[in-house]
Structure 1
Amino acid sequence: MNIKIICVGKLKEKYFKQGIAEYAKRMSKFAKFQIVEVPDEKAPESLSNAEMENVKAKEGQRILEKIKDRDYVYALAILGKERSSEEFAAEIDKLTTYGHSDIDFVIGGSLGLSPEVLKRADTQISFGRFTLPHQLMRLVLSEQVYRAFMINVGSPYHK
C-alpha cells in the first residue's frame, strides 16, 4: 500500500517534520508513506475573487500532476464529511480490500483547493470546522492515518 500526502508549500518547522517522520517510521510496516510538496503560488495579501481563483487553479494544476489515474483521492476540505477515527479506519480497510493500493490525501494552500482538484477527489474529508495551519494538518493527518492502521490490526494504541 502507498499513502501519499500532497500539499501546497514547504514545511519549515523542525518540530512538525520530526513528528511526521515519527509517524512515517511507525507506518512503514503497513505502507509506504510519503509527503509530496508542490510550490505555493505567491500572492499579495489583498486579492480579487478572480485572482484568488487563479491562484487556486495554478496550485490545483500542480497538485493534479502528482495524482495518478488509479489513485484513490481524499481532498481535505472544510465542507467535507467528518468521520470518527473508527469510521476512517474502516474506510481505509475497505479501500484496501477492494484493491485501492494507492491512497492520496490532498491539503490545499491558504486559499483552499481548486474546483478541479475537488472534482478529481473520490471523497472529501473534514477534520472539523476549525481552521488549522496547513503545516499542523500534515501532522494531524499523519497521526490519523497511523491510528487507522492500528485500529485495523486491533492494537491498543487506539483506546
Structure 2
Amino acid sequence: MNIKIIGVGKLKEKYFKQGIAEYAKRLSKFCKFEIVEVADEKAPESLSQSEMDTVMAKEGERILDHIKDKEYVYALAILGKERTSEAFAKEIADLGTYGHSDITFVIGGSLGLTPAVLKRANAQISFGKFTLPHQLMRLVLSEQIYRAFMINSGSPYHK
C-alpha cells in the first residue's frame, strides 16, 4: 500500500519534523509512506475574497499536480465526515482490499482547499470543528494513519 500526504507549505518546526519522521519510520513496516510539500502562496493578512480565491487556486493547482488518476483521495476539511479511529482503520483496510492501494491525503493551506481539490477528492475527512495549524495536522494525521495500521494488525497500541 502507498500512503501519501500532500501538504501546503514547508514544515519548519523541528519538533513536527521529528514526530512525523518517527511515524514515517513506524509506518515503513506497513506501507510506503510519503509526504509531499507544495509551495504556499505568500499572502498578506487581509485579503479580498478575489485575492483569497486566487491564492487557493494556485495552491490547488500545485496539489492536483501531485495526484494521479488511480489514487484514492481524502481531503481534510472541517465540513468533512468525522470518523472514529476504528472506522478509519476499517476504511483503510477496505480500500486496500478493494483495489485502492494508493491513498492520498490532502491538507490545505491557511485558507483551505479550493473547490477543484474538493471535487477531485473521493472523500472528505474531518478531525473535528477545531481549527488546527496545517503543520500540526500533518503530525496528527500521520499518527492516525499509524494507529489505523496498528488497529488492523490487532496491536495493543490503540488502547
Instruction: Tell me the equivalent position of 2:110.
Output: 110
Q: Percent identity?
A: 82
Q: Provide the C-alpha distance between the structure 1 equivalents of 2:34 and 2:18, rounded to a whole number of angstroms.
A: 14
Q: C-alpha deviations, 1:105-146, integer Å up to 9, x for none? A: 000000000000000000000000001111110000000000
Q: C-alpha deviations, 1:36-66, integer Å up to 9, x for none? A: 0000011111111111011100000000000
In the TM superposition, structure 1's runs of 4+ consecutive aligned residues that sit over 3 Å from their partners are none
Instruction: Tell me the equivalent position of 2:131.
Output: 131
Instruction: Tell me the equivalent position of 1:14.
Output: 14
TM-score after normalising by structure 2: 0.99
Task: Please state if 1:76 is matched with 2:76.
Answer: yes
Instruction: Tell me the equivalent position of 1:97.
Output: 97
Q: Provide the C-alpha distance between the structure 2 equivalents of 1:57 and 1:79, rounded to a whole number of angstroms.
A: 19
- Equivalenced residue count is 159
Question: What are the ranges of 5 or more consecutive residues in structure 1 without an aligned counterpart?
Answer: none
Instruction: Tell me the equivalent position of 2:37.
Output: 37
Secondary structure in structure 1 of the residue aligned to 2:139: helix
Secondary structure in structure 2 of the residue aligned to 1:96: helix
Query: Offset of 1:87 from its aligned partner?
Result: 0.3
Q: Provide the C-alpha distance between the structure 2 equivalents of 1:16 and 1:55, rounded to a whole number of angstroms.
A: 25
Q: C-alpha deviations, 1:67-107, integer Å up to 9, x for none? A: 00000000000000000000000000000000111100000
Question: What are the ranges of 5 or more consecutive residues in structure 2 without an aligned counterpart?
Answer: none
Instruction: Tell me the equivalent position of 1:156.
Output: 156
State the AA in 1 paired with 2:79.
Answer: L
Instruction: Tell me the equivalent position of 2:46.
Output: 46
Instruction: Tell me the equivalent position of 1:65.
Output: 65
State the AA in 2 paired with 1:90.
Answer: K
TM-score after normalising by structure 1: 0.99
